Amino acid sequence: METTARRTRVIIADDESIIRMDLREMLAHLDYDVVGEASDGMAALELTERLRPDLVILDIKMPGIDGIEAAERVAERRLAPVVLLTAYSERHLVERAKSAGVSGYLVKPFRESELTPVIELALARFNDVQYLKHEVEQLRDALETRKLIERAKGILMEIHNLKEADAFSRMRRTSMDNRKSMREVAEAILLTYQIETRNP
């Protein structure tokens, strides 16, 4: 049984309707699915939050919040990769866009043949960044868990006059008996200790 790959869903935003129309036609011809269009940055942001596309293409200069500010907000919320439309006269704005989390650029006037490489690279770069952020969060969480376990173990050793291995074994047994994670057990020990030392 054949499965058809899901088409990449794209939102496009440009205050010039002719550019939006050209871009929509090019993307459709390249088999991308344009799920929303906007003529300003705020509308593009609202559409992105509501529709959760795979990619957002934003013109830099738009009324209200511009493409760079919209891109920054999209990137902060990790909603989708952003490709910015820019012109040679706007090269100085690219410097501002670098820190906005933009995944790619298209220079106007652009040809259809330029779209796919920029889009695919932006999607790949975004996925790589999301993966790395996830890895960093997991490592941070693991480190925090380890610190909590060490502190809880120290409290058990002090209160019950246990050796380190015995304190750890007691925590592990509690974890298994109550079907709680080691972090939850450690947090419970620390909380109980705080309450008891405050109210002797």
- Collect all residues with Cβ–Cβ distance below 8 Å to 61 and sequence separation of at least 6: 15, 67, 90
- Ranges in the chain annotated CATH 3.40.50.2300: 9-110
Q: What letter would DSSP give residue 100?
A: T
Q: In this predicted model, which residue has the larger pLDDT, 3 or 53?
A: 53
92-127 pLDDT, tens digit each? 776 776 777 788 888 888 888 888 888 888 888 888
The mean pLDDT value for 79-104 works out to: 77
Position 1 pLDDT exceeds 60:
no
Please enumerate in sequence order all residues whose Cβ is within 8 A of that of 84, keeping only pairs 6 or more positions apart, or say none: 57, 58, 59, 60, 67, 68, 71, 94, 97, 102, 104, 105, 106
Q: What is the pTM assigned to this prediction?
A: 0.67
pLDDT band at 2 (very low <50, low <70, confident <90, very high): very low
CATH architecture designation of domain 9-110: 3-Layer(aba) Sandwich (3.40)
pLDDT, position 27: 94
Instruction: Give the chain's mean pLDDT.
Output: 86
**Mean pLDDT (whole number) for 58-73:** 86
Query: Which residues of the chain form CATH 1.10.10.10?
Result: 135-198
| pLDDT tens per residue across span 13-50 | 998 889 899 999 999 999 999 999 999 889 999 999 99
Paired tokens of 79: 């909603």
Average pLDDT over residues 138-163: 90
pLDDT digit string, tens, across residues 119-144: 888 888 888 777 888 888 889 998 99
Query: Of 18, 19, 72, nearest to 41 (Cα)?
Result: 72
Which one has a higher pLDDT value, 85 or 3? Answer: 85
pLDDT for the residue numbered 128: 79
pLDDT confidence of residue 4: 52
* Domain spanning 135-198, CATH architecture: Orthogonal Bundle (1.10)
pLDDT of residue 48: 93
